[in-house]
Amino acid sequence: PAALVWFRRDLRDFDHAALSHALQAHARVFCAFVFDTDILDALPSRQDRRVSFIHASLAELDARLREKGGGLIVRHGRAEEEIPRLANELKVVTVFANHDYEPAAIARDTRVANSLKDNGIVFRSFKDQVIFERREILTQSGKPFGVFTPYKNAWLRSVQPRDLGAWPVADFAGHLASPPEGSHLPALSALGFETCDLRVAPGMSGGEALWEAFTGRINQYHAARDFPAVKGVSYLSTHLRFGTVSIRALAGNAHARSGAGAESWLSELIWREFYQQLLFNHPHVVEHAYKPEFDALHWEQGPAADALFDAWCEGRTGYPLVDAAQRQLLASGFMHNRLRMVSASFLTKDLGIHWLRGERFFAQWLLDYDLAANNGGWQWAASTGCDAQPWFRIFNPITQSEKFDPQGKFIRRYVPELAAVPDKFIHAPWKLKPAEQNAIGCVIGRHYPAPSVDHATAREHTLARFKAIRSEH
Ligand code: FAD
């Protein structure tokens, strides 16, 4: 009997749990992807880099599956209707997929499984995108971890070679079934989307090339990772998000290496799993503070706050590093991790705007957008999360800039109007004397905005905001 593998955030043809299980158990295995209108219709723009990334990655996946005698069936519609319909058409007995831990995906998969069951078809799903999932790593009292370091230590104590081993595909590729006639990948325009320029090469080949390049830098990762002007990080997040790389191959490689660089990078991969298990075990974080008392925080609202929010979105806060960060996001779909922390802290603690507004803005623009990591990162910065930045520790956007972009190299790349500002003033250009501003053609308030808030005053407001909660509880 035949089976169907439903690809989602696992767009590769190697080390793939669902594909491997299907091929080992069935003589004929079809492969499918659905451009899910439940997701696509909710996107605010028809120019979405993620849709372009997925489309290009699917083209490569389809070509590689065809080389092996298979191919990809691509549908456009509601996944929860398309998958049961396709399973019936192909007369498969089982549909295979990999786990997704987002609440909406879990609900969708439950509906798909029920609908398949009504037709006598089995739905089977597997752990694939993480080394440890759900409730696999628990505290001694059997609870999910809410603090990172003990979670990481437990993760490192638990990991065995078998957890990092690949799910074989190539050995069983003879079982791949070729798609029915006419099931080609539709053009992006047929899906109603425009093709976007991608600064990250998509597909398995793009992931492979980035990883190859990063292996030459991984030993310096711990020292270079915080400097946005330096090529210190791996830039693999989008590939990890869409599964064009294998987490087992990456984590296994980092785990086998010695040295502070590889250790620190593995630790970031563990943060990724920490937030995934957090989302699975505490789905209320999607809309609420992890710590419920922080839902009562009084955030700034109204027209003045809306204007500040717009300025933040567009990179015109008057704080150069924050503006460079926001403009990097708009221009490329990426933002360096240090800058995500600085920018999120600025929105929530300097502008006093609700973390959910920032989280949703990032969700709209990040190519690597991942609900678990984004929500975790925002709640960390806003101090509403588990193991978050303590609320009384407030990033100073000028000090952060001096420390992590000392010569303003990154700032100048994204905020060209500050190009001529001397290094000494690049972090706080309003401190230049008016005559100096005139001389270099960068007048604050005309060529570049004046600071939208005063940091010292904003800091006091934030401390008061949090203290009010403490006295209420
Ligand atoms: P590297 O430094 O090379 O790290 C390797 C991998 O580890 C990353 O690709 C990522 O998968 C994982 N990782 C690293 N840091 C974190 C972290 N703090 N939390 C979870 N996973 C991590 N990451 C996303 O993948 N998607 C998001 O939507 C996202 N939103 C964020 C929002 C905020 C406010 C903050 C503070 C962080 C967010 N992160 C998010 C985490 C982190 O900023 C990015 O993963 C990282 O910048 C991606 O670059 P890289 O691949 O070069 O990372």
**Those residues with Cβ within 8 angstroms of residue 63's Cβ, 6 or more apart along the chain or in another chain:** none
The CATH number assigned to the domain with range 129-165+205-281 reads 1.25.40.80
**Helical segments of 159-288, H only:** 161-164, 203-215, 221-224, 237-242, 247-256, 260-281
Q: How many whole angstroms separate alpha carbon 244 and alpha carbon 462?
A: 41
CA of 246 to the centre of ligand 1 (A): 16
Q: Whose CA is nearest to atom 31 of ligand 1?
A: 374
Q: Are 221 and 264 in contact (CB under 8 A)?
A: yes
| pLDDT (0 to 100) of residue 184 | 87
Q: Which amino acid, one-letter code, is at 198?
A: L
Catalytic choice (219, 253, 281, 337): 337
Q: Which CATH architecture has domain 292-468?
A: Orthogonal Bundle (1.10)
Q: CATH 3.40.50.620 region(s) of the chain? A: 2-128
Q: Where in the chain is the domain with CATH 1.10.579.10?
A: 292-468
* pLDDT for the residue numbered 473: 61
CATH class of 2-128: alpha beta
At residue 61, the pLDDT reads 98
Token couple for 441: 């053609």
pLDDT at 471: 74
Cα–ligand 1 centroid distance for 216 (angstroms) = 20
Q: Which one is catalytic: 6, 211, 265, 355?
A: 355
Q: Check: CB of residue 368 under 8 Å from CB of residue 244.
A: no
Nearest CA to ligand 1 atom 28: 369
d(CA 240, CA 368): 8
Q: What angle do CA 71, 72, 78 make, to 5 degrees?
A: 165
Is residue 116 helix, strand or coil? Answer: helix
Residue 341 contacts residue 24 (beta carbons within 8 Å)? no
Across the chain, which has 473 residues, the per-10-residue mean pLDDT values are 98 98 98 98 97 98 97 97 98 98 98 98 98 98 97 98 98 97 92 96 98 98 98 98 98 98 98 98 97 95 98 98 98 98 98 98 98 98 90 96 98 98 98 98 98 98 94 68
Residue 470 confidence (pLDDT): 77
Task: Give the residue range(s) of CATH 1.25.40.80 domains in the chain.
Answer: 129-165+205-281
DSSP structural state of residue 31: E
- Strands of 92-98's sheet, edge to edge? 72-77, 28-36, 2-7, 92-98, 122-126
Is 268 annotated in the active site?
yes
ipTM for the complex shown: 0.99
Closest-CA residue, ligand 1 atom 22, reads 272
List alpha helices for 10-73, DSSP H: 17-25, 37-40, 49-67
208 is catalytic: no
Active site residue 472: no
Specify whether 293 is catalytic.
Answer: no
